[in-house]
Chain A
């Protein structure tokens, strides 16, 4: 995108009918480090890449618990994300105070979207520079939504945002048809593999990623580093130079990553639903 005379104000349309400030805000989301979400019928998993700026500093918090049944992962301006998380928490508390029941996820994302829209129609405001992956469980099931700075929101089976998220999206697109019936552990495994895809060859360790789960009978919580490292080791997900470029071979092998992994059958046995060769989708 190049600078032009229609991009100074969010309240100025371009002749082509675009609001450049809103689009620039969406660029800010693409600059943030990756965040990934996927859901099954009973669980939703959020995972994100958490890299500290330097060895001396701690990494930024990108996953926030909003309520026992809702959590959010952000990409972009983390300060904006923090403020929006506080708003979401406050809305959940007020709703359950009044109605003695958890706020339905669909209601929350609409409120969030409307809040974002306000910032696209006021000359003294700017759009929020953060994309939110809202994961939640309510009476109508497990949900994953993506909230844009533009005020749009979409529901997804699986999605990835932030830098190098296309690699994760490609992986998720290949596998998403299986997610609905996945077990909790398989869902987490897929999330970790998707995170690995965005790392472009770097080794996946629990110190650079954060994983959170919400599910039936399981309140939203961030998995601790030891558990995540154990899961990484158990699935034996190692950094691959080929990454997403690894073409799935039409072999009877259960999945394309089997060639990359150590090839032990222990973790393969846990996933009969991965028998579909990707080319078939």
Chain B
């Protein structure tokens, strides 16, 4: 008597990669624009990035139907917050809200792997990284999605602070400038595109800084 297996899954994985890097006074959030299912491409021009508040931008890979529902949910909650408090939500507040929203569906999760990027109340860049059920942490950089296993080690190499136990003593990593961060993102996605079949087509980069928000695109390999 073999165990009964499900003949249908409520989830699908639409692939794609998301990255965010925080700087001293900026934050870069990037994601590719390819949406896949199985070995097929559904579209080459789908944005995984959503602006939730004035200084909070979220990029999510995974099951895009769940991602869309999650984005709509957060947008509605943000509207309510604005009516009640007469101001936009701060990025740390949005980070907590996202975590709570994800855990609310602990037993039928949003199949969404999120990175939230923005500026904190002091104007410094912040990046929050999540799992599907809301466990989150503030970090300096993060990658999620199908290409994350290719991207994250490279970001660690470039951005991670060296251990204080190492000899000879090394300085902490020099902070990146905004242009260097954008360049790093482009490099990282170009590499991930080479080996991850679900990452490619186009790269969407969103930069948040004191002047506001800026969007940039870069072509990626389409195979």
Contact = CB atoms under 8 A, between A and B. Distances in A.
B138 interface: no
Contacts, number: 11
A89 B83 contact: yes
A97 B72 contact: yes
Q: How large is the interface on B (under 10, 10 to 19, 20 to 34, 35 or more residues)?
A: under 10
B86 to A, nearest CB: 10
B76 A89 contact: no
A65 B72 contact: no
A90 B80 CA distance: 8
B150 to A, nearest CB: 35
A89 B72 contact: no
Contact of B76 (A65, A86, A97): A97
A231 interface: no
Interface SS of A by simple majority: helix
Nearest to A86: B83
Contacts of B72: 97
Contacts of A97: 72, 76
Nearest to A96: B76
A32 B80 CA distance: 27
B72 to A, nearest CB: 6
B79 interface: yes
Contacts of B79: 89, 93
Nearest to B75: A97
Contacts of B76: 93, 97
Interface of B: 72, 76, 79-80, 83
Given A65-B83, A89-B80, A89-B83, 8 more contacts: A86-B83, A89-B79, A90-B80, A93-B76, A93-B79, A93-B80, A97-B72, A97-B76
5 contacts: A86-B83, A89-B83, A90-B80, A93-B79, A93-B80
